[in-house]
């Protein structure tokens, strides 16, 4: 029997359902690789940090991954617009696998952070390019037909990730290696299959166009964002007003201003073309993505820590305990996609989503170390529902607001702003969490140490491990927070100061996250609802080439500026006019 293959795309640029599904199979494997890694590492991070004696430095491992994945995302988008998606998607998978292998070999938190940075370089292209390719082959109004497959990937990874993360991290040894190292090694077989499938089936037409790569803009962006992240991460150690912190503030700000100047000068060659910001839809959606990224990561990152440190759940149980949030994301995202496909309306979802998200974060800011898990379930469902209303809708609005020839850079920009917000949110909220935990725990220990019950338990030899940690905390040391495994032993009266301190610090994080998301709720009312196109990116580019050919034959097509106004304005133009924005004034696919 002949092997399945992707047939040649006809002149209209339309793909059959079978062709789309073959391409989609490769995209889903790549997305599964990235989605599984996020959930599996999140569930195992507490155990990994304890094994590497770096609980208070765990933010580096998370932040390094987010930094590199964030700053590489715009490059993937721009270069794939110029030279095609397939080669860069294969490159992203390959780099991700190299980073996974190195992360499994780490022997310190510093090494893990460095290797996670390599992994992030690959992850930056996995999600952004997958959504860009879907934008190429499926019209906005029809994407809900295929959205269920993406949600299934996130659903499977949300279940498999925590279970695998907890199971692997809980093993002392597995096939000759520490169990936690398999949290990263498990990516290798999945990634090899993804490489094979993508190589075979991801074949969509692309006419290569030569452009200059904006290397100077990329360098200033990387250095500027990294400078600000360093001070966000180390500010509590250096002192927020110290000379070192101020130096990084100024350096980051200067580099980002230089980046904006460079982007304006290079015009269409820019990593983030400034003309995209002429669209009010793109502006509002980008700012909302940044804000939601901060609030989302700020809220999500503390939940696994709460389940493991405060509730004492195993990594597996902690991961499974987050399923209500994943259910909320999946069901609401699918429902919003179906409604959008039927009605063409989408503005209501970010409004409702941000409002529900704020309510969930405010509810989580009231929990304590004695809060029952049943109380957390509806709050996590609300958190997931709020995110589900916003995530895909904002990407859809961004893609619909730009010319099809800029599908890659626009999709990458949406991912970039969300990831950049998440990167800052992770660094800032973990800093708030651990600095607040140290303060609260120290105060709680000093207060509890005055009671007879506490003193009696402190003298009991059975409580020796936690007693040593308590004496050190009473003396002002916080190094015990590097490894919180001692909280699994000892009398409750001795553990309560720690558990209460961690819970109180998490309350502050959730409260700050709620106020961070508030501006996104206000902005959602200003998001213009541009009419969704009925053509895919490939169809629109084919129409553009046909229009250019018609113009050469003496039947001029509408001017590019007129099409730009129709696309980037209020959406009053017809679908064909909006979609034919094409690749630019020369009419070629870029």
Give the span between the Cα atoms of 543 and 11, in whole angstroms.
9
Q: Is 233 exposed, middle or buried (0-12, 13-18, 19+ CB in 10 A)?
A: buried
Task: Check: CB of residue 123 under 8 Å from CB of residue 92.
Answer: yes
Residue 536: exposed, middle, or buried by beta-carbon count in 10 A (0-12, 13-18, 19+)? buried
- How far is it, in rounded angstroms, from Cα 525 to Cα 65? 33
532-555 per-position pLDDT tens digit: 776 666 666 666 666 666 666 665
pLDDT of residue 6: 46
Which pLDDT score, from 0 to 100, does residue 477 have?
60
d(CA 258, CA 338): 43
Phi, psi (degrees; rounded to nearest 5) at 177:
-125, 155
CB 295 within 8 A of CB 425: yes
φ/ψ of 348, rounded to 5, equals: -65, -30
d(CA 549, CA 11): 13
SS3 letters for 162-204?
HHHHHHHHCCCEECCEEHHHHHHHCHHHHHHHHHHHHHHHCCC
Q: Is residue 194 a contact partner of residue 129, using CB atoms and an 8 Å limit? A: no
Per-residue model confidence (pLDDT) at position 196: 87
Q: Which two tokens stand for residue 148?
A: 């269920």
Buried b (16+ CB within 10 A) or exposed e, 9-31: beeebbbeeebbbbbbbbbbbbb
| Residue from 426, 505, 441 nearest 475 by CA | 441
Tell me the CA distances in angstroms from 551 to 89, 403, 573, one per residue in order: 35, 20, 21
Q: How far, in Å, are 12, 129, 405, 408, 468 from residue 281 at the CA level? A: 28, 21, 17, 17, 57
Contact 307, 367 (CB under 8 A): no
Query: If we measure between CA atoms, which residue out of 146, 123, 126 comes closest to residue 135?
Result: 146
Q: Look at the alpha carbons of 94, 233, 409, 16 in this order and tell me if their dihedral is positive or negative.
A: positive
Q: Distance from first CA to last CA of the chain, Å, rounded?
A: 37
Length of the chain: 590
CA distance 130 to 371: 40
- Res 358: pLDDT: 94
Residue 474's pLDDT is 62
Distance of CA 167 to the CA centre of its chain: 24
List of residues 6+ apart from 461 with CB closer than 8 A = none
Residues 94 and 447: their CA atoms lie apart, in Å, by: 54
Q: What are phi and psi of 178, to 5 degrees?
A: -55, 140
8 A C-beta contact, residue 29 and residue 153: no
Contact between 164 and 186 (Cβ < 8 Å): yes
| pLDDT tens for each residue of the chain, 590 residues long | 444 444 455 555 567 777 788 788 888 888 888 888 877 887 777 778 777 776 666 767 877 887 788 778 888 888 887 788 888 999 999 999 999 999 988 888 888 888 998 998 998 888 888 888 887 788 777 775 676 677 667 767 766 777 787 778 777 777 777 888 888 998 898 889 888 888 887 777 655 556 677 788 888 988 887 788 777 766 766 777 888 889 998 999 999 999 889 888 887 777 777 888 888 888 999 899 999 888 876 667 778 778 888 888 876 777 778 888 888 888 888 888 888 878 888 889 999 999 999 999 999 999 888 899 999 999 999 998 998 888 878 888 888 887 777 777 888 888 888 877 877 787 778 778 877 887 888 788 778 878 888 888 878 887 777 777 777 766 666 666 666 767 777 788 888 888 888 888 888 889 999 999 999 999 999 998 888 776 666 666 666 666 666 666 665 544 433 433 334 333 433 333 333 333 333 333 33
Nearest in space to 316 (alpha carbons), one of 105, 35, 46 = 46
Kindly report the CA angle at 90 between 88 and 96, in degrees rounded to 5?
100
Say what the pLDDT of residue 299 is.
66
pLDDT given at position 100 = 92
Side-chain half-sphere exposure of 71, counting CA atoms within 13 A: 25
Measured at the CA of 409, the angle between CA 248 and CA 339, to 5 degrees, comes to 115
Distance CA 302, CA 509 (A): 8
């Amino acid at each position: 029997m002949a092997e399945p293959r992707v047939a040649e795309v006809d002149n209209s640029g339309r793909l059959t359902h079978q062709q789309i599904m073959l391409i989609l199979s490769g995209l889903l494997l790549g997305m599964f690789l990235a989605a599984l890694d996020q959930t599996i590492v999140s569930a195992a991070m507490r155990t990994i940090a304890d094994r590497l004696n770096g609980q208070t430095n765990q933010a580096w491992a998370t932040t390094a991954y987010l930094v590199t994945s964030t700053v590489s995302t715009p490059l993937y988008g721009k270069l794939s617009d110029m030279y095609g998606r397939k080669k860069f998607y294969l490159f992203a998978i390959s780099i991700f696998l190299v980073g996974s292998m190195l992360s499994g070999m780490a022997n310190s938190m510093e090494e893990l952070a460095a290797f996670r940075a390599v992994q992030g370089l690959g992850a930056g292209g996995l999600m952004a390019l997958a959504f860009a390719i879907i934008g190429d082959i499926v019209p906005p109004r029809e994407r809900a037909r295929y959205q269920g497959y993406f949600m299934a990937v996130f659903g499977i990874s949300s279940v498999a990730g925590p279970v695998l993360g907890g199971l692997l991290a809980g093993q002392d040894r597995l096939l000759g290696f520490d169990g936690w190292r398999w949290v990263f090694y498990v990516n290798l077989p999945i990634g090899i299959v993804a490489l094979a499938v993508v190589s075979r089936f991801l074949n969509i037409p692309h006419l290569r166009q030569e452009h200059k790569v904006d290397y100077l803009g990329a360098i200033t962006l990387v250095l500027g964002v990294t400078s600000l992240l360093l001070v966000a991460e180390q500010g509590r150690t250096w002192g927020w007003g110290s000379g070192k912190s101020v130096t990084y503030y100024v350096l980051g700000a200067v580099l980002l201003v230089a980046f904006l100047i460079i982007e304006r000068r290079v015009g269409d060659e820019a990593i983030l073309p400034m003309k995209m910001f002429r669209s009010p839809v793109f502006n509002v959606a980008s700012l909302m993505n940044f804000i939601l990224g901060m609030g989302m990561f700020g809220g999500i990152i503390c939940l696994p820590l709460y389940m493991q440190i405060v509730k004492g759940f195993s990594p597996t149980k902690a991961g499974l305990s987050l399923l209500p949030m994943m259910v909320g994301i999946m069901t609401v995202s699918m429902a919003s996609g179906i409604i959008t496909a039927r009605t063409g309306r989408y503005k209501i979802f970010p409004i409702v989503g941000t409002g529900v998200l704020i309510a969930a974060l405010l509810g989580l800011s009231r929990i304590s170390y004695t809060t029952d898990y049943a109380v957390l379930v509806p709050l996590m469902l609300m958190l997931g529902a709020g995110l589900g209303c916003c995530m895909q809708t904002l990407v859809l609005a961004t893609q619909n607001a730009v010319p099809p020839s800029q599908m890659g850079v626009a999709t990458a920009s949406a991912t970039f702003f969300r990831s950049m917000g998440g990167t800052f949110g992770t660094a800032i909220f973990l800093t708030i969490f651990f600095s607040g935990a140290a303060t609260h725990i120290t105060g709680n220990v000093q207060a509890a140490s005055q009671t007879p019950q506490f003193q009696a338990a402190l003298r009991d030899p059975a409580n020796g491990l936690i007693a040593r940690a308590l004496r050190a905390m009473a003396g002002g040391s916080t190094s015990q927070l590097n490894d919180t495994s001692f909280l699994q032993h000892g009398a409750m009266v001795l553990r309560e100061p720690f558990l209460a301190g961690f819970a109180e610090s998490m309350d502050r994080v959730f409260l700050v996250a709620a106020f961070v998301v508030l501006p996104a709720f206000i902005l959602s009312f200003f998001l213009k609802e541009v009419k969704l196109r009925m053509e895919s990116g490939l169809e629109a580019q084919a129409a553009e080439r046909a229009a250019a050919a018609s113009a050469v034959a003496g039947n001029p097509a509408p001017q590019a500026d007129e099409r730009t106004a129709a696309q980037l304005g209020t959406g009053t133009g017809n679908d064909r006019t909006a979609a034919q924005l094409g690749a630019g004034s020369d009419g070629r696919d870029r």
